[in-house]
Amino acid sequence: GFKCGIVGLPNVGKSTLFNALTQTAAAQAANYPFCTIEPNVGDVAVPEPRLAKLAEIAGSKEILPARMNFVDIAGLVEGASKGEGLGNQFLATIRETDAIAYVLRCFDDDDITHVNNRIDPLADLETVETELMLADLESLEKRKSGLEKKAKSGDKEAKATLVLIDIALAQLNDGKPARFADVPKDDRKAWRNLQLLTTKPVLFIANVDEGSAGTGNAYSEIVMKRAEEEGAEAVVISAKIESELALLENEERDEYMEAIGLEEPGLDRLIHTGYSLLGLQTYFTAGPKEARAWTIREGWTAPQAAGVIHGDFEKGFIRAETIAYDDYVACGGEAPAKEAGKMRAEGKEYIVKDGDVLHFRFNV
Ligand code: GDP
């Protein structure tokens, strides 16, 4: 599955947030309970109100939401890139994620020490990113000499890779994460293949005190401003509040949220932001047995989307019978939508849209 790593200095609230994520009703909404894949990997349901509506209309017995993974990556301290703390293990775990969520401490609490004895979310961000940049620098330098030899003996691919490595090195040596580099469109794939830590999409999580859950505070404002400048995603959340909300259900939860001025659980916002940060979107299947959300990348074709359900669906793909979610709901289900001419037969080239309700026809 798609993975978002939770990263930050010690005592900023990572575990509190991770535990809240894995205890929440959303995590357990599927027919199988939250499962701990590994102690630090949480498999979380993506909250999706459209799914309940589809199930109601189709009379589905079961609701199966889309899922994504959050990984609690502890052990980052200054010097991690040099093997301090859990350094190497830490970096290896980050390498396997598709995106990085930085938890930034935006709450004062004299009883909870901060490693640098001050609350300064941007300085924390810099400390953490610096370790990732140093790790990237080291791995690029290591690769470079081997590639230079190959390039000299006329290897075109090595030459092209070297150009990209130099683009990345220029950024990193300038103290900037590699994601800010200007990479020609045609080289994007090779660029991704460099597998750098600082080219992963990022999300800032401003972890505020309980009293600021609905409003944010002065620290989180600084974080939001930075996110805007960088074009990064950001969410304000109080991990402490979320860990309490995760234990409540329905009305109790709604009342508590209203009392503290929260419109929707911070975790729902976090999961949605993470999902779109990964470039993911959802299509549905709906029938009497189940209503289900499937995860695809933006831009995927109908056969690729079919392949998420089963490889044979992709191989033997004939067509996708497609109803847009809004049409499905407005018409009151599949049969009436078909009668109203809202069901389209789409072929191999069709780019699936978020919210499409699909039936695949395929050869076996
Ligand atoms: P980690 O080291 O980043 O995983 O941090 P933890 O989740 O273990 O949190 C460190 C301490 O900060 C714990 O005692 C938490 O209860 C506390 N903490 C986390 N979030 C908040 C918050 O929003 N407000 C306050 N006051 N304390 C928090």
Residue nearest to ligand 1 atom 9, measured at CA: 13
Instruction: Provide the pLDDT for residue 99.
Output: 94
Instruction: Provide the pLDDT for residue 113.
Output: 80
CA angle 219, 40, 116 (to 5 degrees): 35
Asked whether residue 33 carries a pLDDT value surpassing 50, the answer given is no
35 in ligand 1 pocket by Cβ < 6 Å? Answer: no
238 in ligand 1 pocket by Cβ < 6 Å? Answer: yes
Asked whether residue 186 carries a pLDDT value surpassing 60, the answer given is yes
**243 annotated binding-site participant:** no
Instruction: Provide the pLDDT for residue 210.
Output: 93
CA of 107 to the centre of ligand 1 (A): 9
What is the atom index within ligand 1 of the atom nearest the CA of 111? 14
12 in ligand 1 pocket by Cβ < 6 Å? Answer: yes
The predicted model gives 99-116 an average pLDDT of 89
243-288 pLDDT, tens digit each:
999 888 889 999 999 999 898 889 899 999 998 888 899 999 999 9
Tokens in use for 273? 């932001």
Our mutation pick for probing the ligand 1 site, out of 112, 220, 270, counting the most ligand atoms within 8 A of Cβ, is 112
77 close to 84: Cβ distance less than 8 angstroms = yes
Q: Do the bridges between strand 62-64 and strand 3-7 make them parallel or antiparallel, or are there none, so unpaired? A: unpaired
The predicted model gives 109-127 an average pLDDT of 87
Reduced to 3 states (helix: H, G, I; strand: E, B; else coil), residue 333 is: coil
208-234 pLDDT, tens digit each:
999 999 899 999 999 999 999 999 999
307-347 pLDDT, tens digit each:
999 999 999 999 999 999 999 999 999 999 999 999 999 99
Q: Which class for 74: exposed (0-12), middle (13-18), buried (19 or more C-beta within 10 A)?
A: middle
Asked whether residue 104 carries a pLDDT value surpassing 90, the answer given is yes
Asked whether residue 35 carries a pLDDT value surpassing 70, the answer given is no
The predicted model gives 183-195 an average pLDDT of 92
206 close to 235: Cβ distance less than 8 angstroms = yes
Residue nearest to ligand 1 atom 21, measured at CA: 240
227 close to 197: Cβ distance less than 8 angstroms = no
209 in ligand 1 pocket by Cβ < 6 Å? Answer: yes
Give the pLDDT band (50/70/90) at residue 109.
confident
85-103 pLDDT, tens digit each:
656 777 888 999 999 999 9
Instruction: Provide the pLDDT for residue 87.
Output: 61
190-to-97, 161, 165, 169 alpha-carbon distances in Å: 18, 7, 10, 15
Give the pLDDT band (50/70/90) at residue 27.
very low
CA of 11 to the centre of ligand 1 (A): 6
86 close to 67: Cβ distance less than 8 angstroms = no
Tokens in use for 246? 């995760």
Query: What is the predicted ipTM?
Result: 0.95
Give the pLDDT band (50/70/90) at residue 107.
very high
H or E segment and range at residue 331: helix 325-331
Beta bridge partners of residue 62, listed in sequence order: 290
Domains for the chain: give ranges and CATH numbers.
3-120+200-277 (3.40.50.300), 133-198 (1.10.150.300), 299-362 (3.10.20.30)
Instruction: Provide the pLDDT for residue 38.
Output: 59
47-to-17, 112, 260, 282 alpha-carbon distances in Å: 17, 32, 21, 11
Asked whether residue 174 carries a pLDDT value surpassing 80, the answer given is yes
Instruction: Provide the pLDDT for residue 6.
Output: 94
42-75 pLDDT, tens digit each:
888 888 999 999 999 999 999 999 988 999 887 6
The rounded distance, in Å, linking the Cα atoms of 337 and 340 is 5
Percent of the chain with pLDDT over 70: 93
CA of 72 to the centre of ligand 1 (A): 14
The strands making up 290-297's β-sheet, listed across from edge to edge, are 62-64, 290-297, 280-286, 356-362, 317-324, 344-346
Instruction: Provide the pLDDT for residue 86.
Output: 59
Asked whether residue 185 carries a pLDDT value surpassing 50, the answer given is yes
266 in ligand 1 pocket by Cβ < 6 Å? Answer: no
